[in-house]
Structure 1
Amino acid sequence: MKSDLLKYIRKINSKPSAQRRLLEQFVSNGASTIPEMSKGIGVSLPTATTALNDLIKAGLVREVGKRDNSSGRIPMEYDLVPTAGYFVGVNPEMDCLALAASDFCGNLITEKTRIPYIYENTPESLEKLSAIVNDFIAGLPFGKEEILQVCVNVAERVNPFEGRAYNMYTFLDKSLAEALTGLIQLPVCIENDTRSMAFAEFCKGCCKGLKDVIFVNICWGLGIGIIIDGKLYYGKSGYSGEFGHMTAYNNNIICHCGKIGCIETEVSGRALKRKLTQKILEGKVSILSDKVLNKKEELSLHDILDAIAKEDVLSVATLQQIADELGKQLAGIINIFNPEMLVVGGEMSATGDYLTLPVNMGIKKYSLNIMNEDSQIVTSELKGLAGITGACLMARHRLLND
Structure 2
Amino acid sequence: MKNKKPKYSAIHLDVIKELFYIKSATSAELSLRLDKSIPSINKVIADLIEDGYVAEKGLAPSSGGRRPLMYALVENKSYIIVIAMDQLSTRIGLVDLQNNEAYTAVSLEIDLIHDDEALAKLISAIENYISDSKIPKSKIMGIGIGMPGFVDAKKGINFTYLKPQEKSLANYLSEEIGIPTFIDNDSSLVALAEHKLGDAAQQKEVMVINLGWGIGLGMIVKGELYRGYNGFAGEFSHIPITEKEILCSCGKQGCLEAVASLLAVTNKAISGLEAGKVSSLRNPKHYHSKINMSNAILAEANHGDQFSIELISESAYDIGRALSILIHIMNPQTIILSGRMVRAGRIMLAPIQQALNKYCIPRLFAGTEIKLSNLGFDAELIGASILVIENLEHLI
- When the two structures are superposed, what TM-score results if normalisation uses the length of structure 2? 0.88
Q: Which residue of 1 aligns with 2:137?
A: 144
Q: Which residue of 2 aligns with 1:238?
A: 231
Cα distance 1:84–1:373, how it changes in 2: closer, same or farther (>3 A)?
farther
What is the alpha-carbon distance in structure 2 between the residues aligned to residue 237 and residue 111 of structure 1?
36
- Point out the more displaced range, 316-325 or 354-363: 354-363
Q: Deviations over 1:224-255 (max 9, x none)?
A: 11122332222233212111112232222221
What is the alpha-carbon distance in structure 2 between the residues aligned to residue 63 and residue 364 of structure 1?
53
1:122 Cα deviation (Å)?
Answer: 4.1
Q: Which residue of 2 aligns with 1:91?
A: 84
Cα distance 1:212–1:28, how it changes in 2: closer, same or farther (>3 A)?
farther
Is the 1:108–1:389 Cα contact (8 Å) retained in structure 2? no
What is the alpha-carbon distance in structure 2 between the residues aligned to residue 251 and residue 65 of structure 1?
62
Is the 1:247–1:263 Cα contact (8 Å) retained in structure 2? yes
Q: Which residue of 2 aligns with 1:40?
A: 33
Is the 1:154–1:191 Cα contact (8 Å) retained in structure 2? yes
2:62 to 50, 63, 69: 69
Cα distance 1:47–1:308, how it changes in 2: closer, same or farther (>3 A)?
same
Question: Which residue identity lines up with residue 196 of structure 1 in the other structure?
Answer: L
What is the alpha-carbon distance in structure 2 between the residues aligned to residue 312 and residue 180 of structure 1?
43
Q: Which residue of 1 aligns with 2:155?
A: 162
Match runs of 1:299-338 below 5 Å:
300-338=293-331
Aligned: 1:108 with 2:101: yes
Question: Which residue identity lines up with residue 166 of structure 2 in the other structure?
Answer: D
What is the alpha-carbon distance in structure 2 between the residues aligned to residue 38 and residue 310 of structure 1?
49
Match runs of 1:280-299 below 5 Å:
280=273, 282-288=275-281, 290-291=283-284
What is the alpha-carbon distance in structure 1 between the residues aligned to residue 255 and residue 345 of structure 2?
25
Q: Which residue of 2 aligns with 1:205?
A: 198
Aligned: 1:175 with 2:168: yes
- Point out the more displaced range, 370-379 or 251-260: 370-379
Number of corresponding residues: 390
Cα distance 1:160–1:46, how it changes in 2: closer, same or farther (>3 A)?
same
Q: Which residue of 2 aligns with 1:3?
A: none
Is the 2:56–2:72 Cα contact (8 Å) retained in structure 1? yes
Q: Which residue of 2 aligns with 1:119?
A: 112
1:267 Cα deviation (Å)?
Answer: 1.7
Aligned: 1:361 with 2:354: yes
Is the 2:214–2:237 Cα contact (8 Å) retained in structure 1? yes
Question: Which residue identity lines up with residue 181 of structure 1 in the other structure?
Answer: S
Q: Which residue of 1 aligns with 2:365?
A: 372
1:261 to 233, 236, 254: 254
Question: 5+ residue gaps in structure 2?
Answer: none
1:65 Cα deviation (Å)?
Answer: 1.7
2:58 is paired with a residue whose SS is strand
Aligned: 1:225 with 2:218: yes
1:362 Cα deviation (Å)?
Answer: 2.5
Question: Which residue identity lines up with residue 129 of structure 2 in the other structure?
Answer: F
Is the 2:327–2:365 Cα contact (8 Å) retained in structure 1? yes
Cα distance 1:221–1:172, how it changes in 2: closer, same or farther (>3 A)?
same
Question: Which residue identity lines up with residue 382 of structure 1 in the other structure?
Answer: L
What is the alpha-carbon distance in structure 1 between the residues aligned to residue 287 and residue 26 of structure 2?
64
Is the 1:88–1:99 Cα contact (8 Å) retained in structure 2? yes
RMSD value, Cα: 2.7
Is the 2:242–2:255 Cα contact (8 Å) retained in structure 1? yes
Is the 2:260–2:314 Cα contact (8 Å) retained in structure 1? no
Cα distance 1:45–1:385, how it changes in 2: closer, same or farther (>3 A)?
closer
What is the alpha-carbon distance in structure 1 between the residues aligned to residue 133 and residue 272 of structure 2?
46
Cα distance 1:82–1:122, how it changes in 2: closer, same or farther (>3 A)?
same
- Overall identity of the aligned pairs, in %: 27
1:344 Cα deviation (Å)?
Answer: 0.8
Q: Deviations over 1:49-76 (max 9, x none)?
A: 2333233333322221211214122112
- Point out the more displaced range, 304-313 or 231-240: 304-313
Cα distance 1:113–1:207, how it changes in 2: closer, same or farther (>3 A)?
farther
1:114 Cα deviation (Å)?
Answer: 2.9
1:215 is paired with a residue whose SS is strand
2:175 is paired with a residue whose SS is helix
Question: 5+ residue gaps in structure 1?
Answer: 1-6
What is the alpha-carbon distance in structure 1 between the residues aligned to residue 287 and residue 199 of structure 2?
41
- Point out the more displaced range, 365-374 or 136-145: 365-374
1:358 is paired with a residue whose SS is helix
Q: Which residue of 1 aligns with 2:186?
A: 193
Question: Which residue identity lines up with residue 34 of structure 2 in the other structure?
Answer: I
Q: Which residue of 2 aligns with 1:25?
A: 18
What is the alpha-carbon distance in structure 1 between the residues aligned to residue 394 and residue 168 of structure 2?
20
- Point out the more displaced range, 315-324 or 303-312: 303-312
- Point out the more displaced range, 303-312 or 154-163: 303-312
Q: Deviations over 1:342-388 (max 9, x none)?
A: 11112122113222221233334433434433332111222222222
Question: Which residue identity lines up with residue 209 of structure 1 in the other structure?
Answer: Q
- Point out the more displaced range, 265-274 or 365-374: 365-374
1:187 Cα deviation (Å)?
Answer: 0.9
Q: Which residue of 2 aligns with 1:389?
A: 382
- When the two structures are superposed, what TM-score results if normalisation uses the length of structure 1? 0.87
What is the alpha-carbon distance in structure 1 between the residues aligned to residue 65 and residue 282 of structure 2?
70
Is the 2:147–2:184 Cα contact (8 Å) retained in structure 1? yes
2:42 to 34, 42, 49: 49
